[in-house]
Chains A and B, each alone.
Chain A
Amino acid sequence: MNIRGLGFTTLLICSVILPAMATQQLCSTASPQNPKAESVYSEIGKAPEKARAKRNPLEKDPDAIAAGRILFEQRCAECHGHNAEGGKKGPGLRAPEIQNAEPGAIFWILTNGVVRKGMPVWAKLPEPQRWQLVSFLKSLGATPAKTETLLSGPRQPQPRDLSLPHH
């Protein structure tokens, strides 16, 4: 290898990889207000009947939500926001489209991704971990807000702080 080789290397990085990074970022904006978010939500409706009918085997597991929360922070928060409120790349997961969806449909989306719209396939997580994520996502629904309303009267819903104490 010589100077020519190193020059070629630099050229390759500049001409291919960096523009690929930039293009990917410039093209990916799926905030909750963005129309792209709607099209991502619509993907959940494409889950087959058989997938929708699947029950969450960890529904009654007391640790599933806490474990799912850690998994969410590690894998999902970067795109969907730390409070699942939606981010630059991924739509909010507190939306009714998600909260009203069957657990099986959410599991199906996690397993298959929405590859053409930027959502990666998460089948590399073992099945129980995907169900733990489903448990956590469903826990973001209306139940805690109702509890808050009962405790403190009607008010604007606030995103819950998902941060966990570090052990």
Chain B
Amino acid sequence: MAKTKRRSVLKLAGGAALGGMAGILATGRTPAFAQQKTVHWLKWVDFVPATDQMFTKELMPAAEKDLGIKMKLETVNGNDLQPRITAAIQSGAGPDLIMSFNSYTHLYANSVVDMSALAEDVGKREGGLYKYARAICSDGKVFMGMPWAVIGGMIAYRKSWWDEIGVTKFPDTWESYREAGKKLKAKGRPLGQTLGHTFGDAPGFSYPYLWSWGGKEVEADGKTVVINSKETLESVKFMTGFWKDAHDEGGLAWDDTNNNRAFLSQTISATLNGASIYIESLRKPDQYKTERGEFLNKDILHAPLPKGPAGQFGFHLLQSNMLMKYSKNQDAAKEFLKWLHAEANYRKFFESQKGFATPCTAKWESDKLWDVDPVMTPYKVAARLGQAIGNAGPPNAKAQEVLSKYIITDMYAKAVQGMPAEDAVKWAESELKKVYAG
């Protein structure tokens, strides 16, 4: 029998072990049994709590089962998304997928993966992507984010109070809206609108208001500042009187939640908002009752912002999901997004929102969900009416800077605080010129 030397046994064992390790290191992959990938998705805390519950209980486990990956869903307050994105990009580590609001996509364009293939595919399958979603998520060459949903902003109003002043059809022009508001304010039921530094409702009102008068930030070249126009000036002058006549003047300090509280506690008769006021009143019908003791949710209707001389517009919160360039799980994250946008899966999200979120493709406009509750029906066209910031230029990083600095909102805020309209517009012009020149 051949003698087995101790040394040769060690050599063999060591060789095998080293070979194995070297092989693993060379491929940069862990062995198959430990290969389950984790996709980390960071999104906002949904204003509809049922949606986040549905994600945790249904969609995430289903994705894990179908795709063989591990999902990590993290939710943060909408205002905290940007600090997280900045920290993640600068450190080169963080969630694989991050939810973007509006033009964040343009702001972080260098740090995201192109989602064109999936976006075009979903668009083709679902009757076409809305222009609004395309403008915000794509720079014409690549899709910086995968369009997810539009949180429509509509005016929620108290039907009975408007009936009482003889207005049975919601005003469709600024003049008639102001007239009605004047009557309502005289009865201690003013219109409620924020002109404060808050991400949603303030620009959601001030931008479409400006556009409806024909005011523009810049020309289509995205450089020539044209805010100081007759149209803008008219809009500012109208706003100062409108504010005094019809609005709750505390609105200068409101954040995105103040108008919800004011409406639900019946101190205002109308306010621009997502559907969250109505949804909250549906959720707690016994808590929110009218002065006659009836359910408040039976007395709420929605309408789009009125028209101005140049038309009717909306600026809604458009959400998309960005696949980050630093992600080491890009393939798995892409697979997950593809899976999430499959009709059956996306429908679960859509239905859980009950109309709070409008999908970015045309097909969903005719979905039967919009017939379930007529109060929610106006939201179905939110994405269609939407226009992106930076008009008439692209919604790029410059336009986002103007938005982040609240220049358009502050132009109106300064005027209603007493600054002459001409000066407020000139101030906005000088600020815009600094932004667009840089």
Q: A and B from one assembly?
A: no
List chain B positions with a Cβ less than 8 A from chain A: none
Q: Taking beta carbons and an 8 Å cutoff, which residues of A are in contact with B?
A: none
